[in-house]
Amino acid sequence: MKKPITWTPTQWSDWKWQQKNRIRTIEQLDEWIDVTPDEREAFRLTNSVFRMGITPYYASLMNQQDPLCPIRLQAVPKMSETKISNTDLADPLGEERYMVVPGLTHRYPDRALFYTNHNCAMYCRFCTRKRKVSNPKSMINKQAYAAIFDYLENHPEISDVIISGGDPLSLSNKRLAVIFDRLSQIKHIKYCRLGSRNLVTLPQRCTDSLSELLKTYQSRHLSIYFNTHFNCLEEATDEAWDACDRIASSGTPMNNQMVLLKGINDSTERVLELNQRLLQMRVKPYYMLQCDLAEGISHFRTSIATGLKIIKGLRGHVSGLASPHYILDAPGGGGKIPLSPNYIIDKEEDHLIFRNYQGEVYRYPESELELDELTPECLQARITALKSGAA
C-alpha cells in the first residue's frame, strides 16, 4: 500500500493546501500510484511542453495499480502524447485567429471568450489549449485586462461573456469580483458563464464565500452561469456533490461540457451513468464535445460514429435533460457544428417520414419541397426527384 503525504481533514478541505501540494514531479507521483515505465518516460518527455499538475484530491481518485483508470488517464502523461499525427493542430479551434485583443476571442457575433489566466488546478492531458495553458510566461497582464474590458465596452453586439482560461477559479475571489464588477457595469452584457473545472478537480475551491460572491453579482442586469467539465462518474464524488450544492445555493445554474474520450466515457452506458448523476447534482448536461485535433491527443479520440451512437442511445430512452447536444468544434475555427443521428428518413409528395427512438416509422404531413437546408444529401436527391416529377 502506498503512503502518500499526510494531512489533517482541515488541510484536505482547504483549497490553498490542495493547490500548494499539487503533484508536480515523478517522485511525488510515486507516492500515490505504481507509476509504469511508460508514464515515467512520458513525464520526462512532456513536462517541459505541458506540465503535470494534479491536486491531492484528484490523485486520491486514481487507481493505484491500473494505468487505464479513467481518472489516471486524464491526469498522468502517457507516451502516446509524444505522437503528433499529421492531422494534429497546435490551435485546433482557431482561437488565436479570432483573438481580437490578447486574451479575448470574438468568434460569434454575440459572444466573447475571455482567457483570464493560464493556470488550472489539474492539467488535463487532452487539453485543447495545451499550447499555452500551464505556461506561466504566456499569462496575460493588467494592461491586457484593461484592453479586454475596453473591447467589450465598445462592442454592444456582445451580450454573453465566457470567463475561461486556464481556469478562472485559479484567481482569487478578489480578482473574480473585479471581473464581475466590470462586466455588470457594461449595459449590453446580459449574461456570463464561469467556465471552470474546479468542481471536478478541486471542489474545495467552491467555498461558501465563492457562493456568496456569485450571489452578490447575480442580478437582473447580469445573470451568471457556471459551466463545468465532468467526464466520468468516478469524478462525481460526495465532495463534488457538496461543492455543487454550494454553487446551486447561490442561484447559479450549472451546465456540463463533457469531452468524448476513448477509454473514459466512450459508451452510452458511461455517458448515461454520468449524466443521470449530474442531474441529481443539479448540473445540466449541455454539450458532449467531439475530441478536437490538439497535438498529441489522438489516443483520446473516438470516431464520430461512436458519438452518434451514444446520442441515439440516450435520446428518448432517458430523461431529455440527460441528453446533451453533440458538438464538433470545426478544425481551424469553423465554430461549433451540432451532430445528430438522422430521424428524418424519407420524403413523400405530401409527407415526411421519420424514425422514432425505437426504430418505428411515423409520418407527418409536409408538402414543402424546399427542405434542402434541413435534410441529409441522400434525402435531397429524393426531393429533387419529387420536384422533377420522377417519383
The residue among 193, 245, 241 whose CA lies nearest residue 217 is: 193
228 near 197, Cβ under 8 Å? Answer: yes
**Has 329 been annotated as catalytic?**
yes
Report the partner that residue 194 touches, choosing among ligand PLP, ligand SF4, none (CB closer than 5 to 8 A by kind).
none
**DSSP characters over 157-189:** T--EEEEESS-GGGS-HHHHHHHHHHHHHSTT-
In the complex, which residue's CB is closest to ligand PLP? Answer: 107
> Cα 203 to the chain's mean position, in Å?
16
283 near 254, Cβ under 8 Å? Answer: yes
Which one of residues 182, 284, 336, 355 is an interface residue with ligand PLP (CB under 6 A)?
336
Which region among 118-126, 144-152, 207-215, 352-360 touches ligand SF4 (by CB under 6 A)? 118-126
Taking residues 292 to 331 in sequence order and writing x for each that binds ligand PLP by CB under 6 A, - otherwise, the string is: ----------------------------------------
**Has 108 been annotated as catalytic?**
yes
- Strand-by-strand arrangement of the 191-195 sheet: 99-101, 104-108, 111-115, 160-164, 191-195, 223-228, 254-259, 283-289, 325-330, 335-339
Min CB(377)–ligand SF4 separation in Å = 35
Does residue 171 touch ligand SF4 according to CB under 6 A?
no
Nearest 5°: the CA angle 18, 228, 230 is 80
Cα-only R_g, the chain:
23
Does residue 73 touch ligand SF4 according to CB under 6 A?
no
Which one of residues 124, 189, 222, 272 is an interface residue with ligand SF4 (CB under 6 A)?
124
93 near 69, Cβ under 8 Å? Answer: no
**Selected catalytic residue, list 282, 336, 346, 355:** 336
Alpha helices in the chain (DSSP H): 9-12, 15-20, 26-30, 37-46, 56-59, 70-75, 142-153, 173-185, 198-201, 208-217, 238-248, 268-280, 304-314, 377-387
Q: Give the C-alpha separation, 208 to 193, whole Å.
A: 19
Taking residues 162 to 191 in sequence order and writing x for each that binds ligand PLP by CB under 6 A, - otherwise, the string is: x-----------------------------
Report the partner that residue 105 touches, choosing among ligand SF4, ligand PLP, none (CB closer than 5 to 8 A by kind).
ligand PLP
Does residue 23 touch ligand SF4 according to CB under 6 A?
no
**Selected catalytic residue, list 72, 78, 127, 266:** 127
**Has 270 been annotated as catalytic?**
no
Min CB(148)–ligand PLP separation in Å = 14
**Has 124 been annotated as catalytic?**
yes
Which region among 161-169, 320-328, 342-350, 362-370 touches ligand SF4 (by CB under 6 A)? 161-169
Which one of residues 22, 72, 107, 129 is an interface residue with ligand SF4 (CB under 6 A)?
129
**Has 127 been annotated as catalytic?**
yes
Which region among 8-16, 100-108, 131-139, 298-306 touches ligand PLP (by CB under 6 A)? 100-108
Return all residues near 142 (Cβ < 8 A) that are at least 6 apart. Answer: none
The answer to whether the bond into 166 is cis (omega within 30° of 0) is yes
Binding interface with ligand PLP (CB under 6 A): 93, 105, 107-108, 111, 113, 162, 336
Residues with a catalytic annotation lie at: 107-108, 111, 120, 124, 127, 129, 292, 329, 336
Binding interface with ligand SF4 (CB under 6 A): 120, 123-124, 127, 129, 133, 165-167, 197
